[in-house]
Amino acid sequence: MITADTLYRRLHAAYGTPRWWSEDPYTVMVQAVLVQHTAWSSVEKLCRPLADRLTPDYIGGLPPGELEALIAPCGFQKAKARTIRGLTAWFGGYGFDPRRLRQIPTGRLRDELLSIRGVGAETADVILVYAFYRPRFIVDAYTRRLLERLGCGLPDDEAIRRFFGAGLPEDAGLYGRYHWLILEHGGAVCKKTPLCGSCPLRRLCRYPDEKEGL
């Protein structure tokens, strides 16, 4: 079976140097919520015109209903607006200052995020990695599907995390870049059928009618 290390190099060769989600922690938080069950392109389309207004000041100051209307194109606006407000309030408890979070252990930080309604495991982990630089491998639908196609029999998210944990340094930067590459890959290949002729990782994938993966 392919190693996490080799897979990273293949992805990097196929998609180039991954960029970071955003240097701004609050932007990461808002976009992590907006992208739930939603195409990344929809999030970008929504956020691009907002530019420098993606701040706690502007978003948090929006009158009731306006945030919902603003984010409607990303769907689930009622739920997502509530979650964004929850995250904004939580971050406000730390003065919107990431430095104040530095001494909090990752596990506790994660629990705090999970206690916010609408923040589940994946959203919490995205925020941990990209906003606060904590080493925690993000497992999402693309990750699961990619590993499935690679022929790895990994039953659950914990097993997947162990796969990536083995042989990789525990480094938030690496985890973040890795997840971004998986995202690029997942967005580029076909979603449904396991067969994708144009897949840049084709030689790595085990297809239903083939015996061997790699």
Here the tokens at position 120 are: 């589940």
The residue among 26 and 142 lying less far from DNA, judged by its C-beta, is 142
Residue type (1 letter), 57 = D
CA 97 to chain centre: 22
Q: 54, 26 in Cβ contact below 8 A?
A: yes
88 binds DNA (CB under 7 A): no
119 binds DNA (CB under 7 A): yes
90 binds DNA (CB under 7 A): no
The residue among 59 and 74 lying less far from DNA, judged by its C-beta, is 74
DSSP for residue 62: S
Q: Measure the CA–CA gap between 47 and 80, rounded to whole angstroms.
A: 15
124 binds DNA (CB under 7 A): yes
Q: Which listed residue (8, 26, 132, 142) binds DNA by CB under 7 A? A: 142
Map the footprint of DNA across residues 57-76, applying CB under 7 A: 72-76
C-alpha distance from residue 176 to each of 26, 65, 207 (Å): 16, 33, 28
* Site residues for DNA per CB under 7 A: 35-42, 45, 72-79, 117-124, 126, 140-142, 183, 186-187, 191-192
